[in-house]
Amino acid sequence: MVIGKNECLNLAEKIVNEALNYGATQAEARIINFTEYLTRFANSYIHQNVGETNIHLTLRFILGKKISSVTINEVSDKAIKMLVERAFKIAKVQEENPEFKSLPEPEPIPEIKELFVKETFECTPKLRAEMVKELIDEAHSISPKITSVAGALSTTTIEMAVKNSLGINAYTIATIASLNTNVISRENNIEGFGYAADVSRNIREINPRKIGREAAERSVRSLGAKKIEPGEYEVILESYAVSTALLYTAINGLNAQAVQDGISFMLDLKDKKAFYDELTIWDDGLNLNGLAFPFDLEGVPKKKVILIEKGVPRNVVYDSYTAHREGKKSTGHSARFGPLPTHLFMREGDSTINEMIRETKKGILVTRFHYVRTVHPRKLVLTGMTRDGTWLIENGEIKYPVKNLRFTESMLRMFSNIELIGKEVRRIGLSRWYGVGSIVVPSIKVGKFQFTGTTEY
């Protein structure tokens, strides 16, 4: 349910004024109102069709240099009074933060009209079911070996408003459509797995047949996986895997909080030639090739930030707190747990996947990563598993599928050993855990990549 710009901003203003009346020296209110509809399928049929509407009211209550943050999901006057009272009581018992300077000042926010798509907002359960059926039928048409198709199709409408006592007054509304699928094939009691996904503002831009076909072909090609020895291999990472590597790079290194906490590789490598010559990465929340969004959780307009330029780490992103600690201005990257680039792009190259394969003497083709964790943030060492399609390459040809491998590798080493970058990019949606955003990346070929273990599937 959409409540509209005026209602959102009036609600935020009511919270801010109530906080100021309660003695706050500064106050910030954030309203996030969202409606999501989800059609989930497994074993090649729809088994869940649900919808959720919720609204989150978050108050940041500043009492001198004491700060509290409280969230509720009620909008009544009584609930707002309770929110403010609770925030005041929590702030009062906090220790002072001597490094806090101020909430951000207002800046002009660009208007991006293409964020809200009526077709996505009005998408019906029938249309979602028809799209899921197209995906399932297409997947099964690829081969009689396909036994099960699973996944989810969701449509989300989100309104966000931010208002603070210094004059910030921001509002936007956006839609998101997301489709993902896992396809299982079987031959002689051996299973193969394939994955594909897409995300867009416009439900009509998502092609379910294409997604079903991609995942099904990957699943059938992965049948008969063999176990190979772990070790150092050349590796070709498809966009799904690259997006995960880039997200963890952003979390661990490409934000000011990581630098100020002493855990970012930027402390060692900023403005030094560190990576592949053609590696350029940036964040741009206004670029419509990603899931653009005009401002951050503090109501600060998004700014394009060059993070890595032709192999040289250049900049990190800031929210108001981390910016003020260094006498700078926020870059518009306030996120749930501090500053974070949430609209990442990697510049494409000029290679195809087939060309990468032909250039590989002995390597592994990886569809995506799973269950990734950080081992050493400053060295950007990650560990995780391959998933949903992994193949051995020898002398420029795919030889056979292999059982999933565990990797333990530094992304710094990986970025320095890139040999080729793909010419096609894919847009990957971020989990809501990180906020409204996306990662747009190509595939890459890496000369050295360390695998440290294997699995039984």
SS (H, E, C) 26-47: EEEEEEEEEEEEEEEEECCEEE
Structure-token match 């074993």, residue found: 43
SS3 content of the chain, % helix, strand, coil (to 5): 25, 40, 30
Contact predicate 282/333, CB 8 Å: no
Contact predicate 192/201, CB 8 Å: no
Cα distance between residue 252 and residue 166, in whole Å: 31
Q: Which residues, other chains included, contact 37 with Cβ-Cβ below 8 Å and sequence gap of 6+?
A: 49, 50, 51, 123, 125, 128, 154, 155, 156
Residue type, 107: E
DSSP label of 104: P
Locate 308 and state its tokens.
């890595």
Locate 441 and state its tokens.
């990346």
Find, among 26, 29, 43, 32, the residue nearest to 3 by Cα.
Answer: 32
Residue type, 307: L
- The pTM assigned to this predicted structure is 0.96
Contact predicate 310/415, CB 8 Å: no
Q: ∠ CA 419-372-239 to the nearest 5 degrees?
A: 40
Each of the 457 residues of the chain gets a pLDDT tens digit; together they read 899 999 999 999 999 999 999 999 999 999 999 999 999 999 999 999 999 999 999 999 999 999 999 999 999 999 999 999 999 999 999 999 999 999 999 999 999 989 999 999 999 999 999 999 999 999 999 999 999 999 999 999 999 999 999 999 999 999 999 999 999 999 998 999 999 999 999 999 999 999 999 999 999 999 999 999 999 999 999 999 999 999 999 999 999 999 999 999 999 999 999 999 999 999 999 999 999 999 999 999 999 999 999 999 999 999 999 999 999 999 999 998 899 999 999 999 999 999 999 999 999 999 999 999 999 999 999 999 999 999 999 999 999 999 999 999 999 999 999 999 999 999 999 987 777 899 999 999 999 999 999 988 8
Cα distance between residue 106 and residue 116, in whole Å: 24
For the CA atoms of 208, 155, 47, 387, the dihedral, rounded to the nearest 10 degrees, stands at: 60
pLDDT at 432: 75
Contact predicate 305/313, CB 8 Å: no
Residue type, 74: E
Cα distance between residue 282 and residue 312, in whole Å: 12
Cα distance between residue 385 and residue 370, in whole Å: 5
pLDDT at 434: 72
Q: What count of other Cβ atoms lies within 10 Å of the Cβ of residue 320?
A: 27
Coil, strand or helix: which one is 83? helix
Contact predicate 55/75, CB 8 Å: yes
Q: Which residues, other chains included, contact 207 with Cβ-Cβ below 8 Å and sequence gap of 6+?
A: 198
> Packing angle between helix 125-142 and helix 208-221, nearest 10 degrees?
30
Cα distance between residue 75 and residue 83, in whole Å: 10
Cα distance between residue 185 and residue 220, in whole Å: 6
Q: Can you give 108-173 as a three-state secondary structure string?
A: CCCCCHHHCCHHHHCCCHHHHHHHHHHHHHHHHHHCCCEEEEEEEEEEEEEEEEEEECCCCEEEEE
Cα distance between residue 289 and residue 200, in whole Å: 9
